[in-house]
C-alpha cells in the first residue's frame, strides 16, 4: 500500500516498517497512503467549516463559487482558519505552562510532597528577572510570588499591561515595536478566547486585521513556552551537556522497557526518578537489566536533556517502538500522541497508559495522574510495565541494532557556561567576535515536527549539514532535535565531518575550553518544543549586547516538517519577533494570495521576519543562507 523507500530516512523506522508490512500492522505511513489524494480545497485553505451552513468551498481557479454562503471570500476563509490554528497552538503550549505554574503554586503552599525546587539558583534568577524580591526571604515565599506573577499572565485584564514573561524576555526595541503595532498580548487566556470570538461567523473578516490578531495570539504561545521552560528548570533542574543515545536500538532485550511519550515533565520526570526504586522488582520478574526508560517526542526531549534518558524516536515513528515486541509500556500525557497506539499495542503485550483526565484514548488503560500522589502513581504505572514483561513473546522481539551517540543538554545556561570557559569576563564575546569575523556566518534554529508529506527526517539532515558546511551554527528543539539526534549530528565527530572550517575552529576552541575533550556537537540540542524559548533568550542576550533588535541578527528558523497547530503558532511568533522562518510543508494558506503575501512579504517590512515556504531542502538551505547574508549586510558585515 505504500512505498517504503520514500517513507523515512531513519534506518530503524524503515526496518520496522518492513515488519509492519509482514505482520499486516497499519502505521501512519499506511494511513497516509490511504488518504491520497488529499482534498485540494482543504490543502489550500479554501474549505470553510466555521458555521453549519457550510462547508463552503472557494474555487481556486475562479471557475466556481468565489464566496461562501455568508459572503466570506478566499482571503477571509484562509485567514480565519490559519489564525484559529495559531490559537489552538497557543492554548496547548500555555496549558502546559499553566500546569507547571499551578504545580509551583501548590508546592509553595506545601501541598506537593513529591516535588521540590531542584535548581534553586535558577529559581532565584527567574525571580530576579520578574522583579520578585529575593533577599532574606524564604525560598517558598519567592516561589509563591513567581507562581502568582506567572498566573497573572492568564488573568490580567488591563490590555495596556503586556504579559509579564514576554516583557521580561524580549529586547526593549522589539517590545516597543510590538506594542506600537498593538499586538503585544496582555493575557494568554483572553487572547486565545478573543481569537476564537473574532473568527466566529460574522466577525472579523478583514484578512490584514485577522493576521495581525494571529500575530498577537502567537505571541501568547511564546509567553506560555517561556514560562513553561523556565519554571520547569527550577522544578526539575537546568539541563547541562549529557551523553546519551537515540533511536530504537536504545531498547534493551533484557529490560522492562518503558517509553514516555507526550510533553509535560511533571509526569515523565517523576517516572525517571522512581524507576530506580523498582529495579529489584523488575529483576525479580526476570528482566536482568532492570527498568529501561526511553523517550518519545517532546517529553522524551525533556528527560533526555535533564537525565540523559535515551530517545527512542520522534513523532512520526512513535508507533514503531511497540512493533519491536520489546516495549512493555507506553506512558502518555498530552499532545502529539497518535490515537492508533492502543490498536497497535493490541497485537503485542504492550500496555498503553493515559494519565491526563482530559487526554484519554479509546483502548488505553487510564491511570489518573495528580501531582499530589505523583510518586505513588508513577510506581503503579511502572508495576503495570513489570507485569507486562511476563507476557512478552520472546519470538516476536525485533530490536533494531542502531542507536546513535547523542550529546544533548544545551540549555542557554549550558551554552553560556561553555562560553565562559573561553572568556569568563565576557562570555558572549567569543560568539560575537566570530560572527563579526565570519567564522560563524549566522545561527539556524531547527524546530517542529514530522509530517508524512515529506520523507521522515531527510530534510533536517540535508539542510543542517548544508548550512553547517557554510559555517552556520545549528540549534535544534522538538522533533527536529529528535531527527538530528537520530541522524548522528549531535556528536563532535559530526562537527569534524560536516562543519565548515570557520565553524569547526570555533567549535573546537569552545569544546576544548569547556572540557568536552573535542569540538561541540554539530547540532546543539536545546530541548523540547517549549524550549524554543531558550533560543529566544539566547538571541535576546546577543541582540542586547550588540544594541540591536532581534530582526537585525543573522538568525533564521527552519521547520522542514511542520505539522501541528503548535508548530503554526511557533513559526508565527518566530516571524513576529523578527526571524526569517522556513516551512518545508505548504501551509493551508496558498488559496489566498493576499494572506500568502501578508505572511511572506508584508510581514518583512512590518516586523522584520517573514515566512519562507520551500519544499526542496537544497533550495531551502540556499534561501536560509541568503537570509543570513542579508542580515549580515544590514549589520555592515
Ligand atoms: Ni512540537 Fe513536541 Fe513533535 Fe511537533 Fe509534536 S512532539 S511540541 S508539535 S510533533 S515537534
Ligand atoms: Fe460558509 Fe460563511 Fe459558514 Fe464559512 S462561515 S461555512 S463561508 S457560510
Ligand 2: nearest atom to the Cα of 51: 3
pTM to 2 decimal places:
0.97
- The three-point CA angle 591-597-600 to 5° equals 110
Domain end among 361, 396, 431: 396
- For residue 320, tell me if it sits in a domain: yes
CA-based nearest residue to 78, from 602, 611, 588 = 588
Predicted confidence at residue 516, as pLDDT, reads 87
Domain end among 365, 396, 427: 396
- For residue 617, tell me if it sits in a domain: yes
Q: Once rounded to an integer, what is the mean pLDDT over residues 529-553?
A: 98
Same-domain check for residues 513 and 622: yes
Q: Which ligand has the shortest distance to the CA of 76?
A: 2
Better pLDDT: 475 or 516: 475
For residue 158, the tally of other CB atoms under 10 A from its CB is: 8
Better pLDDT: 517 or 281: 281
Same-domain check for residues 255 and 350: yes
Same-domain check for residues 465 and 559: yes
Q: Once rounded to an integer, what is the mean pLDDT over residues 31-43?
A: 96
Alpha helices in 373-522 (DSSP H): 374-389, 412-422, 429-436, 458-469, 478-486, 492-498, 501-513
- For residue 68, tell me if it sits in a domain: no
Predicted confidence at residue 4, as pLDDT, reads 73
CA-based nearest residue to 525, from 490, 483, 479, 561 = 490
pLDDT in tens, 278-318: 999 999 999 999 999 999 999 999 999 999 999 999 999 99
Contacts for 135 with CB less than 8 Å, ≥ 6 apart: none
pLDDT grade for 23, boundaries at 50, 70 and 90? very high
Predicted confidence at residue 483, as pLDDT, reads 98
pLDDT grade for 500, boundaries at 50, 70 and 90? very high
Asked if 345 and 259 count as a contact pair (C-beta separation under 8 A), the reply is no
Hey, which of 228, 564, 565, 571 would you mutate to test ligand 1's pocket, going by the most ligand atoms within 8 Å of its Cβ? 564
Q: Which three cell numbers stand for residue 620?
A: 531551502
pLDDT in tens, 437-469: 999 999 999 999 999 999 999 999 999 999 999
CATH, residue 166:
1.20.1270.30
Hey, which of 46, 51, 59 would you mutate to test ligand 2's pocket, going by the most ligand atoms within 8 Å of its Cβ? 51
297 lines ligand 1 (CB under 6 A): yes
Same-domain check for residues 369 and 497: no
- For residue 310, tell me if it sits in a domain: yes
* Averaged pLDDT of the chain: 97
81 lines ligand 2 (CB under 6 A): no
48 lines ligand 2 (CB under 6 A): yes
Quote the ligand 1 centre to 236 CA distance (angstroms): 21
pLDDT in tens, 230-276: 999 999 999 999 999 999 999 999 999 999 999 999 999 999 999 99
pLDDT in tens, 38-51: 999 999 999 999 99
Same-domain check for residues 184 and 257: no
Tell me which residue has its CA closest to atom 5 in ligand 1. Answer: 336
CA-based nearest residue to 171, from 189, 184, 182, 161 = 184
Predicted confidence at residue 67, as pLDDT, reads 98
pLDDT grade for 609, boundaries at 50, 70 and 90? very high
pLDDT grade for 517, boundaries at 50, 70 and 90? confident
How many domains are contained in the chain? 4
CATH, residue 346:
3.40.50.2030
Burial of residue 247 (number of CB atoms within 10 Å: 0-12, 13-18, 19+): buried
Q: Which ligand has the shortest distance to the CA of 205?
A: 2
- For residue 273, tell me if it sits in a domain: yes
Tell me which residue has its CA closest to atom 7 in ligand 2. Answer: 68
- Provide the residue range defining the domain that includes 337: 248-396
Same-domain check for residues 583 and 511: yes
Q: Which three cell numbers stand for residue 465?
A: 549539514
Same-domain check for residues 479 and 620: yes
The b-or-e profile of 76-106 (16+ CB within 10 A means b, else e) is: bbbbbbbbbbbbbbbbbbbbbbbbbbbbbbe
- For residue 65, tell me if it sits in a domain: no
409 lines ligand 1 (CB under 6 A): no
Hey, which of 53, 78, 80, 205 would you mutate to test ligand 2's pocket, going by the most ligand atoms within 8 Å of its Cβ? 53
Distances (CA, A) of 150 to 86, 145, 194, 220, 361: 21, 8, 20, 13, 31
pLDDT in tens, 154-169: 999 999 999 999 999 9
pLDDT grade for 5, boundaries at 50, 70 and 90? confident
Same-domain check for residues 127 and 48: no
Distances (CA, A) of 600 to 352, 455, 558, 608, 610: 42, 25, 14, 11, 5
51 lines ligand 2 (CB under 6 A): yes
pLDDT in tens, 559-594: 999 999 999 999 999 999 999 999 999 999 999 999
Distance CA 541, CA 316 (A): 34
Domain end among 196, 213, 236: 236
Alpha carbons within 13 A on the beta-carbon side of 167: 16
Quote the ligand 2 centre to 201 CA distance (angstroms): 7
Q: Once rounded to an integer, what is the mean pLDDT over residues 374-382?
A: 98
Ligand 2: nearest atom to the Cα of 67: 7
Ligand 1: nearest atom to the Cα of 450: 9
Same-domain check for residues 92 and 196: yes
Same-domain check for residues 480 and 622: yes
Q: Which three cell numbers stand for residue 183?
A: 499586538
- For residue 63, tell me if it sits in a domain: no
Q: Once rounded to an integer, what is the mean pLDDT over residues 77-86?
A: 98
CA 321 to chain centre: 21
Q: Which ligand has the shortest distance to the CA of 570?
A: 1
54 lines ligand 2 (CB under 6 A): yes
Q: Above 60 in pLDDT, residue 1? A: no
Quote the ligand 1 centre to 459 CA distance (angstroms): 16
Contacts for 274 with CB less than 8 Å, ≥ 6 apart: 375, 378, 379, 382
Same-domain check for residues 143 and 79: yes
Q: Above 90 in pLDDT, residue 3? A: no
Same-domain check for residues 426 and 391: no
Q: What is the DSSP letter of 260?
A: E
Q: Which three cell numbers stand for residue 576?
A: 513576529
Per the rule left: phi > 0, alpha: psi between -120 and 50, beta: everything else, 262 is: left
Distance CA 194, CA 127 (A): 30
- For residue 194, tell me if it sits in a domain: yes
Ligand 2: nearest atom to the Cα of 72: 7
567 lines ligand 1 (CB under 6 A): yes
564 lines ligand 1 (CB under 6 A): yes
Ligand 1: nearest atom to the Cα of 563: 4
Distance CA 313, CA 320 (A): 8
201 lines ligand 2 (CB under 6 A): yes
Distance CA 200, CA 576 (A): 24
Alpha carbons within 13 A on the beta-carbon side of 427: 15
Amino acid at each position: 500500500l505504500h512505498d517504503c523507500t520514500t517513507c523515512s530516512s531513519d534506518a530503524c523506522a524503515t526496518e520496522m516498517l518492513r515488519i509492519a508490512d509482514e505482520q499486516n500492522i497499519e502505521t501512519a505511513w499506511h494511513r497516509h497512503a490511504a488518504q491520497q489524494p488529499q482534498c485540494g480545497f482543504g490543502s489550500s485553505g479554501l474549505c470553510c467549516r466555521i458555521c453549519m451552513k457550510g462547508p463552503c468551498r472557494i474555487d481556486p481557479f475562479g471557475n466556481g463559487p468565489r464566496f461562501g454562503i455568508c459572503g466570506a471570500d478566499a482571503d477571509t476563509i484562509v485567514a480565519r482558519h490559519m489564525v484559529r490554528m495559531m490559537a489552538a497552538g497557543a492554548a496547548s503550549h500555555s496549558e502546559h505552562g499553566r500546569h507547571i505554574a499551578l504545580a509551583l503554586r501548590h508546592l509553595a503552599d506545601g501541598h506537593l510532597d513529591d516535588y521540590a525546587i531542584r535548581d534553586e539558583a535558577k529559581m532565584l534568577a527567574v525571580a530576579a528577572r520578574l522583579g520578585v524580591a529575593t533577599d532574606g526571604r524564604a525560598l517558598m515565599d519567592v516561589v509563591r510570588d513567581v507562581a502568582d506573577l506567572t498566573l497573572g499572565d492568564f488573568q490580567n485584564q488591563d490590555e495596556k499591561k503586556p504579559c509579564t514573561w514576554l516583557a521580561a524576555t524580549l529586547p526593549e526595541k522589539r517590545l516597543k515595536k510590538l506594542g506600537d503595532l498593538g499586538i503585544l498580548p496582555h493575557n494568554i487566556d483572553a487572547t486565545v478566547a478573543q481569537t476564537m470570538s473574532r473568527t466566529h461567523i460574522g466577525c472579523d473578516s478583514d484578512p490584514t486585521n485577522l493576521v495581525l490578531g494571529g500575530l498577537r495570539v502567537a505571541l501568547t504561545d511564546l509567553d506560555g513556552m517561556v514560562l513553561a521552560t523556565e519554571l520547569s528548570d527550577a522544578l526539575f533542574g537546568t539541563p547541562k551537556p549529557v551523553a546519551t543515545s537515540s533511536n530504537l536500538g536504545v531498547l534493551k532485550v533484557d529490560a522492562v522497557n518503558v517509553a514516555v511519550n507526550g510533553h509535560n515533565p511533571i509526569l515523565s520526570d517523576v517516572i525517571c526518578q522512581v524507576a530506580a526504586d523498582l529495579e529489584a522488582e523488575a529483576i525479580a520478574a526476570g528482566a536482568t537489566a532492570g527498568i529501561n526508560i526511553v523517550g518519545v517526542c517532546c517529553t522524551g526531549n525533556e528527560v533526555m536533556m535533564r537525565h540523559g534518558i535515551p530517545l527512542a524516536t520522534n513523532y512520526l515513528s512513535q508507533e514503531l517502538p511497540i512493533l519491536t515486541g520489546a516495549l512493555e509500556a507506553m506512558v502518555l500525557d498530552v499532545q502529539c500522541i497518535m490515537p492508533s497506539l492502543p490498536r497497535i499495542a493490541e497485537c503485542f503485550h504492550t500496555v498503553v497508559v493515559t494519565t491526563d483526565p482530559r487526554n484519554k484514548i479509546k483502548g488505553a488503560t487510564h491511570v489518573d495522574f495528580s501531582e499530589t500522589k505523583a510518586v505513588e502513581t508513577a510506581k503503579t504505572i511502572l508495576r503495570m510495565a513489570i507485569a507486562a514483561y511476563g507476557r512478552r513473546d520472546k519470538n516476536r522481539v525485533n530490536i533494531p541494532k542502531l542507536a546513535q551517540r547523542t550529546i544533548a543538554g544545551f540549555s542557554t545556561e549550558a551554552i553560556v557556561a561553555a562560553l565562559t570557559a573561553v572568556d569568563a569576563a565576557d562570555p558572549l564575546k567569543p560568539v560575537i567576535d566570530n560572527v563579526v569575523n565570519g567564522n560563524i556566518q549566522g545561527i539556524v534554529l531547527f524546530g517542529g515536527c514530522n509530517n508524512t508529506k515529506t520523507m521522515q527526517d531527510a530534510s533536517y539532515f540535508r539542510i543542517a549539514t548544508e548550512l553547517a558546511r557554510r559555517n552556520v551554527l545549528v540549534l535544534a528543539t522538538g522533533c527536529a532535535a529528535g531527527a538530528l539526534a537520530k541522524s548522528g549530528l549531535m556528536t563532535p565527530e559530526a562537527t569534524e565531518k560536516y562543519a565548515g572550517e570557520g565553524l569547526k575552529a570555533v567549535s573546537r576552541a569552545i569544546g576544548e575550553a569547556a572540557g568536552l575533550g573535542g569540538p561541540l556537537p554539530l547540532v546543539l540540542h536545546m530541548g523540547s518544543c517549549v524550549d524554543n524559548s531558550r533560543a529566544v533568550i539566547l538571541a535576546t542576550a546577543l541582540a542586547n549586547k550588540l544594541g540591536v533588535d532581534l530582526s537585525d541578527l543573522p538568525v533564521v528558523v527552519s521547520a522542514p516538517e511542520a505539522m501541528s497547530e503548535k508548530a503554526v503558532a511557533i513559526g508565527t511568533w518566530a516571524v513576529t519577533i523578527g526571524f526569517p522562518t522556513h516551512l518545508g510543508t505548504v501551509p493551508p494558506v496558498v488559496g489566498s494570495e493576499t494572506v500568502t503575501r501578508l505572511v511572506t512579504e508584508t510581514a518583512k517590512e512590518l516586523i522584520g521576519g517573514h515566512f519562507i515556504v520551500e519544499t526542496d531542502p537544497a533550495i531551502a538551505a540556499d534561501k536560509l543562507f541568503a537570509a543570513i547574508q542579508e542580515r549580515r549586510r544590514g549589520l555592515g558585515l
